[in-house]
């Protein structure tokens, strides 16, 4: 099945086709609807019972909604959405706070334990949110307007063990490499690398021209979206298509040369001087800025940045990260973006009203066109959606792959997730060898599995 033909199909049909693709096509790395519960998730549920549909607050009822989002790359759009919503609903005030990217579980866990979750928040699909839903801390969004309209194929990792929809995905997610066309032209690179060997050769050419080849955030969890997830897909899933299922079943062995290769490739880039200076502590926003300022020829990032990265002064192109060896096909990443959840609390109805505005009302187009990714909702006005043709083509090519990989947070135990950034940093600085990093991950994983029994 293909998401796009040679001529762009209507977006309303696109999202329906995409939903069917994720739900029905045979992808060997399909993520289970819910994984084993996180041992760090709280066990105390609020006393308020869940309701399916939001009740509109009375016009004279004054409400303050607490909203916490990962939105550093679309903060202006987030604020615009909140302002527009409060303009339409003057009785609702929004206390909005921005949380660092890829730290939703760390931010939410202590608040959940204290039964003080924000009314609306960003949350990843997978283990942590599933347990919060099972414990009654997150509203089941199945029968809300947003829950009914979100693309079916994006629901799986936001569905708990008992079938509760605890989040609305923020869109289709995939990692890719953005490149500076002007700098590539200066270096004489006219064709995109198709494998790891060619990628290293191009990096050497760029370095020889005095151009920093690649920027990637090594100081926060976005390195897991990029180098880890792509490395795991190309080095592990390509050889063991059942790897994700084994991990969720508690039977996977991380202490292997294939998994160590994830860190070997990262260390190779670091040792050869192909990564931007300060990569070990470089944060997400800083990495994005370096690319947009023309200080690196490539940025390993995600489709969620397309709305920003494709609007450069130098001309931006994209290609699939060639982490595959010469005799091996690429394994692209296809997953869900961080989504939106609602707490079970006294302001749940108003929070769902805001959620519907963000995902189906005027707020949705503010969000979507800032992100520039593939829509996650079925009922969209295609005349209001702006997607760069290069991004459309990239998705089409990714969908054509017989095997795809998920993102790290969709299937790894939370204990393993929390150690990945530090593991990369220790590999970069030489504290751990790639083999030692593989063993460390395996030890962490086995301990997590043992604690859940």
Average pLDDT over residues 338-357: 94
- Rounded to the nearest 10 degrees, how much is the dihedral formed by the CA atoms of 223, 229, 235, 241? 170
Report pLDDT digits (tens) over 15-28. Answer: 433 443 343 332 33
Average pLDDT, rounded, for the chain: 85
Q: Residue 317 and residue 391: Cα distance in Å, rounded?
A: 9
- When mean pLDDT is compared across 86-90, 150-154, 256-260, the lowest value belongs to 150-154
3-state secondary structure at position 166: coil
Statement: residue 41 has pLDDT above 50: no
**Residue 404, in any domain of the structure:** no
Statement to judge: residues 296 and 212 lie in one domain: yes
**Residue 350, in any domain of the structure:** yes
Statement to judge: residues 118 and 36 lie in one domain: yes
Statement to judge: residues 135 and 188 lie in one domain: no
Beta-strand pair 316-319/175-180:
antiparallel
Statement: residue 268 has pLDDT above 50: yes
pLDDT band at residue 167 under the 50/70/90 scheme: very high
- What does the buried/exposed string (b/e) look like for 111-148 if buried means 16 or more CB atoms within 10 Å of the residue's CB? bbeeeebbbbbbbbbbbbbbbbbbbbbbbbbeebbbbe
Q: What is the CATH number of the domain that holds 273?
A: 3.40.190.10
Into how many domains does the chain fold?
A: 2
**Residue 189, in any domain of the structure:** yes
Burial (CB count <10 Å: 0-12, 13-18, 19+), residue 53: exposed
pLDDT for 17 equals 35
pLDDT for 47 equals 34
Statement to judge: residues 303 and 439 lie in one domain: yes
**Strand blocks (E) in 71-208:** 92-99, 120-123, 172-173, 175-180
Report pLDDT digits (tens) over 183-232. Answer: 999 999 999 999 999 999 999 999 999 999 999 999 998 999 999 999 99
- What does the buried/exposed string (b/e) look like for 72-89 if buried means 16 or more CB atoms within 10 Å of the residue's CB? ebbeebbeebbebbbeeb
Q: Which helix (H) or strand (E) holds 317?
A: strand 316-319
**Residue 11, in any domain of the structure:** no
**Residue 101, in any domain of the structure:** yes
pLDDT band at residue 102 under the 50/70/90 scheme: low
Residue indicated by tokens 């099945």:
1
Statement to judge: residues 388 and 423 lie in one domain: no
**Residue 410, in any domain of the structure:** no
**Residue 16, in any domain of the structure:** no
**Residue 18, in any domain of the structure:** no
The angle that helices 257-271 and 434-451 make with each other, rounded to 10 degrees, is 130
Statement to judge: residues 166 and 42 lie in one domain: yes
pLDDT for 32 equals 33
DSSP labels, 37-87: PPTTS--PPPSSPP-SSPPPPPTT--EEEEEEEE-TTSHHHHHHHHHHHHH
pLDDT band at residue 54 under the 50/70/90 scheme: low
Check residues 436 and 72 and name the one with the higher pLDDT: 436
Statement to judge: residues 193 and 164 lie in one domain: no
Report pLDDT digits (tens) over 244-256. Answer: 999 999 999 999 9
pLDDT band at residue 237 under the 50/70/90 scheme: very high
- Rounded to the nearest 10 degrees, how much is the dihedral formed by the CA atoms of 438, 242, 122, 84? 130
Domain span at residue 191 reads: 175-331+419-451
Statement to judge: residues 104 and 209 lie in one domain: no
CB of 306 within 8 A of CB of 373? yes
Statement to judge: residues 135 and 254 lie in one domain: no
Q: Residue 430 and residue 427: Cα distance in Å, rounded?
A: 5
pLDDT for 39 equals 34
Statement to judge: residues 64 and 206 lie in one domain: no
pLDDT band at residue 49 under the 50/70/90 scheme: very low
Q: Which residues contact 61 (CB under 8 A, 6 or more apart)?
A: 91
Report pLDDT digits (tens) over 140-162. Answer: 999 999 999 888 888 888 999 89
Q: Residue 453 and residue 434: Cα distance in Å, rounded?
A: 29
Report pLDDT digits (tens) over 323-332. Answer: 999 999 999 9
Statement to judge: residues 59 and 119 lie in one domain: yes
Residue indicated by tokens 């289709």:
172
Q: Residue 118 and residue 350: Cα distance in Å, rounded?
A: 12
Statement to judge: residues 164 and 121 lie in one domain: yes
């Amino acid at each position: 099945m293909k998401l796009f033909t040679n001529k762009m199909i209507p977006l309303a049909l696109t999202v329906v086709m995409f939903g069917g693709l994720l739900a029905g096509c045979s992808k060997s790395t399909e993520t289970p609807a819910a994984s084993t519960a996180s041992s760090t998730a709280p066990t105390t549920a609020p006393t308020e019972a869940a309701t399916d549909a939001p009740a509109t607050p009375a016009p004279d009822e004054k409400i303050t909604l607490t909203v916490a989002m990962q939105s550093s790359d679309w903060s202006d759009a987030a604020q615009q959405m909140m302002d527009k919503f409060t303009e339409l609903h003057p009785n609702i005030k929004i206390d909005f706070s921005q949380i660092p990217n890829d730290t939703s579980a760390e931010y939410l866990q202590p608040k959940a334990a204290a039964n003080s979750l924000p009314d609306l928040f960003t949350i990843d699909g997978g283990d942590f949110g599933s347990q919060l839903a099972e414990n009654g801390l997150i509203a089941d969004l199945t029968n809300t307007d947003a829950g009914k309209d979100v693309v079916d194929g994006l629901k799986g990792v936001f569905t708990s063990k008992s079938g509760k929809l605890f989040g609305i995905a923020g869109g289709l997610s995939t990692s890719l490499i953005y490149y500076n066309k002007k700098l590539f032209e200066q270096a004489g690179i006219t064709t995109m690398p198709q494998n790891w060997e060619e990628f290293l050769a191009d990096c050497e050419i760029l370095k020889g021209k005095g151009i920093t080849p690649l920027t990637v955030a090594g100081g926060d969890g976005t390195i897991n979206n990029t180098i880890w997830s792509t490395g795991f897909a190309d080095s592990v899933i390509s050889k063991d298509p059942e790897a994700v299922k084994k991990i969720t079943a508690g039977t996977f062995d991380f202490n292997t040369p294939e998994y160590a290769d994830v860190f070997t490739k990262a260390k190779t880039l670091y040792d050869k001087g192909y990564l931007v200076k300060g990569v070990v502590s470089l944060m997400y926003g800083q990495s994005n800025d370096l690319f947009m300022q023309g200080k690196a020829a490539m940025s390993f990032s995600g489709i969620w940045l397309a709305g920003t990265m494709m609007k450069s002064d130098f001309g931006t192109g994209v290609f699939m990260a060639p982490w595959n060896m010469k005799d091996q096909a690429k394994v692209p990443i296809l997953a869900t973006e961080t989504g939106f959840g609602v707490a079970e609390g006294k302001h749940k109805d108003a929070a769902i009203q805001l959620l519907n505005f963000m995902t189906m009302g005027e707020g949705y187009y503010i969000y979507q066109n800032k992100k520039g990714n593939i829509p996650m909702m079925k009922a969209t006005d295609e005349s209001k959606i702006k997607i760069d043709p290069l991004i459309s083509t990239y998705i089409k090519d990714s969908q054509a792959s017989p095997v795809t990989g998920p993102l790290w947070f969709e299937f790894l135990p939370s204990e393993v997730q929390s150690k990945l950034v530090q593991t990369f940093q220790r590999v970069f600085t030489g504290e751990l060898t790639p083999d030692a990093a593989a063993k460390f991950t395996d030890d962490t994983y086995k301990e997590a599995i043992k604690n859940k029994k």
